C-alpha cells in the first residue's frame, strides 16, 4: 500500500471504467488523487467516496479536456488542493464506431479533440506542476492503435497518434526526468464498451475472446495494476514504451 506514498496523481476521465479503477488503485497505494470527469458528477463523487471511505485522499474536478480553458482550470484546482503533481494519467477518451460513408468533420474533431488534443493540453499543464524531481505521464492508448478495428478508423487513428506523442514527448522530456509511457488495453469490460455494443454476447465480444490467448475480456483492474507499476519507482528506467495489457490478444 505504499508504492505511490506521498505522490499526487491526476486521472482524466476517472468517473468510471478504467479511469475509476486507476484512481482507486493509486489511492490504495498511497497517492492523493484528482478524479477528473466531464459530465458524470455523481459517478465521480462515488469514486471519491470509495477512496475516502478506505482512508485515502481524493477530490473530483469537472473539466472537458477538449477545452483548453477547462484543462487550465483543472490543473489550477489540483494545485490549490495539493500544491504539486507527480503523475498524470491521460485516460479521457471518446470512442465511436462509424462506417466510412458516415464519417463527418464533427465525428473527426470529436475524436481527435478529446483523445489527442486533450492529452496534449493536459501534458502542457502538467509540466507547470511537476517538481524539479520530474514527473510521470501515462497515456491510456489501445491495442486498436496497432490493429485498427473495422468502423473504428477514427478511434484507432487517435490512439496511434497518442502512441506517437508518447514516444516523441518521452525523448523531449527525458532530460527533465519526466517519463512518458502508453498502456494499450485489449478488449476490456467497461461502461463505454457496453454502450458501443461490444459486450453482452455481441459478435465483437465473441471475436475478442476467441482471439485472446487468456480466454477472457479484460477488467479495469487489469489495466489499473499496470498503471500502478508504471507510476511507481519500480518502472524508473522505463519511458517511451507502449505496453500491451491485452491477455495476449495484441502480441506486438
Q: Which residues are catalytic?
A: 155
Per this entry, what is the length of the chain? 252
Angle at 189 between CA 120 and CA 232, to 5 degrees: 50
CA 154 vs. chain centroid, Å, equals: 18
Can you tell me the distance from the alpha carbon of 186 to that of 250, in angstroms, rounded to the nearest whole number?
7
Can you tell me the distance from the alpha carbon of 80 to that of 186, in angstroms, rounded to the nearest whole number?
36
In the β-sheet with 87-90, what is the strand arrangement from edge to edge? 57-62, 32-37, 8-11, 87-90, 135-140, 178-185, 242-245
Amino acid at each position: 500500500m505504499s508504492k505511490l506514498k506521498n505522490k499526487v496523481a491526476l486521472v482524466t476521465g476517472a468517473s468510471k471504467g478504467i479511469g475509476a479503477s486507476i484512481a482507486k488503485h493509486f489511492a490504495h497505494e498511497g497517492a492523493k488523487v484528482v478524479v477528473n470527469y466531464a459530465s458524470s458528477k455523481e459517478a465521480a463523487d462515488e469514486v471519491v467516496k470509495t477512496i475516502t471511505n478506505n482512508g485515502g485522499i481524493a477530490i473530483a474536478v469537472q473539466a472537458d479536456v477538449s477545452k483548453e480553458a477547462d484543462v487550465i482550470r483543472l490543473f489550477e484546482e489540483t494545485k490549490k488542493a495539493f500544491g504539486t503533481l507527480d503523475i498524470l494519467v491521460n485516460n479521457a477518451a471518446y470512442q465511436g464506431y462509424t462506417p466510412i460513408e458516415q464519417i463527418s468533420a464533427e465525428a473527426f474533431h470529436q475524436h481527435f479533440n478529446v483523445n489527442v488534443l486533450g492529452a496534449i493540453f493536459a501534458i502542457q499543464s502538467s509540466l507547470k506542476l511537476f517538481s524539479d524531481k520530474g514527473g510521470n505521464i501515462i497515456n491510456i492508448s489501445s491495442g486498436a492503435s496497432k490493429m485498427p478495428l473495422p468502423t473504428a478508423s477514427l478511434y484507432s487513428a487517435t490512439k496511434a497518434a497518442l502512441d506517437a506523442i508518447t514516444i516523441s514527448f518521452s525523448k523531449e522530456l527525458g532530460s527533465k526526468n519526466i517519463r512518458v509511457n502508453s498502456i494499450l488495453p485489449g478488449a476490456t469490460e467497461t461502461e463505454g464498451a457496453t454502450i458501443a455494443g461490444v459486450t453482452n454476447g455481441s459478435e465483437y465480444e465473441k471475436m475478442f475472446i476467441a482471439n485472446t490467448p487468456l480466454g477472457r475480456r479484460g477488467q479495469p483492474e487489469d489495466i489499473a495494476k499496470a498503471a500502478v507499476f508504471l507510476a511507481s519507482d519500480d518502472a524508473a528506467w522505463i519511458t517511451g514504451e507502449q505496453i500491451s495489457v491485452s491477455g495476449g490478444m495484441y502480441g506486438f
